[in-house]
Amino acid sequence: MTTKTSSLLKLNNSKKLKLKAKRLIPAQTQTFSRSATTFVEGVYPVYVKSANGSHFTDVDGNIFLDYLMGLGPITLGYNYKKVNSAITNQLKDGILFSLPHPIEIDLTELLCKTIPNTDMVKFEKTGSNAVTGAVRAARAITKKNKIAYCGSGGVWHDWYAASISRNDGVPSFNKKLIKIFDYNDSDGLEQIFEDNKNEISSIVLEPSVYEIPNKTFLHKIRKIADKNNAVLILDEIVTGFRFDLGGGQKFFDIKGDLVCFGKGMGN
Ligand SMILES: Cc1ncc(COP(=O)(O)O)c(C=O)c1O
């Protein structure tokens, strides 16, 4: 928070909007992590009005330094001029068409140049869609159903939500298909393959989750995937365009088979 201490914050407009939203929007938000229930009531702003660079202004005029960065995507900063003008220029030509647009090919070429080991690119709607699509492709390619998973988790993927308590609405058989291993624990991953012989379609891994890999971890993961004919899916939704423009693959020198990018692309 900036100049004012939280007890002096004026939050009248935020409070009014929150009451209104309570009637209209489940959990008052479209995104769980953005919900008012995630923050301390009465001292945390709830509604944002505008943002510029690294700061945002809430609906009561309070200004904050934004450590949340839009839940991750804001790496360039808000209101970034080059991106804004590219968007406004494109708006003049239209942004939704019945046919593909040449810009898809230009962007794909640029991504292939920027991200190591990239031959082709498929665009998806969200990070969740991209990782779930990669899992589906791995299952289709290998004709195996189980997944070995290591990451920060989250209920954004149904196939992951099956394994935790917030699993309402996810069929329970999904739980049997997901095997969790810890970051930097390649022995744990090997054990999963041992216990589920010829059943693991893919290893889904964030290149880094709150800690850096020990010297051999990522190299061993690659080897285990190759040895067991499993697809190595790197979830670079957070690390992509952040650890390096080329993502965790470039930064840590690891090669994924299917690599998913998200957040940073949205800025
Ligand atoms: C590592 C990781 N993968 C996937 C996702 C899902 O991305 P999206 O919110 O674009 O669906 C998130 C979201 O926070 C994430 O942190």
Task: CATH number of the domain at 44, please.
Answer: 3.90.1150.10
Residue 125 CA to residue 130 CA, distance in Å, equals: 7
State whether 129 and 200 are in the same domain: yes
User: Domain for residue 190, yes or no?
Assistant: yes
Mutate to test the pocket of ligand 1, among 152, 156, 236, 242 (most ligand atoms within 8 A of CB): 156
> Is there a single domain that holds both residue 165 and residue 214?
yes
CA of 123 from ligand 1 middle (Å) equals 15
pLDDT of residue 6: 52
Residue 164 pLDDT: 86
**Which distant-in-sequence residues (6+ apart) come within 8 Å of 72 by Cβ?**
237, 238, 263, 264
**156 and 205 within one domain:** yes
On whether both 127 and 54 belong to a single domain, the answer is no
Structural domain harbouring 109: 97-266
The pLDDT value given to residue 3? 47
Best residue among 237, 241, 261 to mutate for probing ligand 1's pocket (most ligand atoms within 8 Å of CB) is 237
- Judgement on whether residues 120 and 201 belong to the same structural domain of the protein: yes
Does one domain contain both 32 and 145?
no
Amino acid at 158: D
Provide the domain count of the chain: 2
Residues 36 and 150 in one domain: no
**Residue for token digits 């008052």?**
28
Mean pLDDT by 10 residues, the chain (267 residues): 61 94 91 83 90 97 94 94 96 96 97 96 94 96 97 79 86 92 97 98 95 95 98 96 95 97 92
**What are the DSSP calls for 36-48, one per residue?**
GGGS-TTTS---E
Indicate whether 20 and 106 sit together in one domain.
Answer: no
Same domain assignment for residues 49 and 105: no
How many angstroms separate the CA atoms of 55 and 74, rounded? 11
What's the confidence (pLDDT) of residue 42?
Answer: 81
User: Is 81 a domain residue?
Assistant: no
Rounded distance from Cα 81 to ligand 1 centre (Å): 26
pLDDT value for 7: 58
Predicted pLDDT of residue 1: 47
pLDDT in tens, 108-158: 999 999 999 999 999 999 999 999 999 999 999 999 999 999 998 767 777
If asked whether residues 116 and 26 sit together in one domain, one would say: no
- If you measure from the C-alpha of residue 113 to the centroid of ligand 1, how many angstroms do you get, rounded to a whole number? 24
